[in-house]
Structure 1
Amino acid sequence: MARFSPPGPLGFGGAPLGNMFDVVDEETAAAALSAAWETGVRYFDTAPHYGSGLSEHRFGGVLRRAPRDAFVLSTKVGRLLRPDRTRPENPPFVEGLPFRVEPDYSYDATMRSIEDSCQRLGLAQIDIAFVHDLAADHLGDAWEEQFEVARAGAFRALTALREQGVIRGWGLGVNLTEPCIRALERADPDVFLLAGRYSLLNQPALERLFPMCGARGVHVVVGGPYNSGLLAGGRTFEYQEAPPDMIAKRDRIAAVCERHGADMRSAALQFCAAHPVVAAIIPGAKRAEKVRENARLMAATVPSAVWDELRQAQLIPADAPTPG
């Protein structure tokens, strides 16, 4: 069967517009989404978790202006939002909407989550639904148990919704490869959103997951192509202070890029997009100027000598696909 996957290579990731780490005002958020559209982005990803519904509200406010068949939209299931006037904390998001986030991977919760998301978005169609964070910190060692809950619940619900034409595809939105591998072994997903596990710095998905995806015709959306900032010149890796070995590796990659007149950020984006199972990459952005910069970096030329030297220095795997 033909698998549905989003258009790429560049999409728009919605976590920052849920007030991730700091507040983004409404005008700035709308300008960022509009800039994505103006630069040609036609794939948008959000989730109820992002700002306790705030990101979905903002996406809908802008995307409702566009013809519905002109873009692909994904959101997530696995967390229900319950009204709560105390505005409980939902880190790393700040000043979100007044809802309490409750993890729930059951069949009924999944069905409700899709309907709730449509209402928050103000849209009647969600194209892709990802089961969110099946291996996240809030589950700890219990992720395997919750995987079975999701397999009997969320997976079954999303498969039924796909068969009914309510959604066009489903998969997992996670930051570990193991749940994706298990989903391929035990279910029938269409696409994964994998954050931080295939990047210029870190490629654990290359050895096993990506070949399995290729064999099944399943595509991958790559989140976190800058590894939460380290490859963009920052000091954080996976949203924490970067370990010395990763900083040293980043600095060696940066030196190679500089020798050949390339921007390391361009190399980071284009490396992720070069693998044939990758349908799109979704760097996050809070402001229009950053959205436009990502589009420029995606289109910039990275000399082939960069990839040759990175391979020779064993900074990227010898079998990792590269542009051109």
Structure 2
Amino acid sequence: MLGLIAWRLPQVAATLLILSLAAWFAIGLMPGDPVSLALTTDPRLTAADVARLTALYGLDQPLWTRWLSWAGGVLRGEFGYSRLFARPVVEVLLPALRSTLVLLGAALLLSAATGVALGALAALRPRWRVAVDTVAVLGQAAPVFWLAILAILLFAVTLGWLPAGGASDTGWPDEARFLLLPVTTLAVHGLAAYARHTASAMAEVLTQPFITAARARGAGGGRIAWRHAFPNAAVPVLAIAAVDVGALVSGALVTETVFARPGMGKLLFDAVMGNDYNLALLCLLLVAAVTMLATLLADLGQHALDPRLG
């Protein structure tokens, strides 16, 4: 397992490096720049002001040179200031990252628990397999933004049970009301993969000789399912969890936009549109790092459950 960590961490670092370079050039080649935006908002700026701002933002230097300067600062722990918020980037990012991680964690737990339960039901009760597969296909096929809009129309507009978006000003437990719709929307899209793969994996394991032996020894259905079958079926399910985290991250950015939640989705959009290099790059790198580290944790879980993998 230590060998896997030693092998994967350099890959994560190299991927983040390449991603930062590609994103830097993509943002740098977009129309407009901070000085042009400043001129748009304040036409009274003089030529001297423009020259000073150009030098301040490093726009008089090539993109490659500016990226090297930025990367060197990041390696020293200096993430710079956000041009849009006039505050250190870390101060702007931390509240948004915390909000997004809460949304992701709750959606991942709900989708995994519900999906695994439905998959186990389909494997143990074959007559339920068609119904579970139908729910899984519909959940996987429906776009996240469409599910979010339907949830708002039904539970916020029509029934008035839950808020349509935003976040609570009073903290917990009122924040749970604001989280319920976005978390459920993300979980519905994610549980489909868990349900289908859990059903297939457990159905295969339940045909193995050691399950027949456990039944012959008088083991009950619940013990066979969760003590014997599920631990052996969990290896492919963890592989799905690694892929699901990436889908949840991208889905969370969309969901936060639809539900107007103050998370990484809106922050990243504002940073890119405002040519805020420091903020946009760190947002992208954090999103990528969360995805890759979650994949690494899923791989470590697979190796722990099945040492034969490595």
Q: TM-score, normalised by structure 1?
A: 0.21
Higher share in strand: 1
Highest Rg: 1 or 2? 2
Higher relative contact order (CA 8 A, sep 6+): 2
Higher share in helix: 2
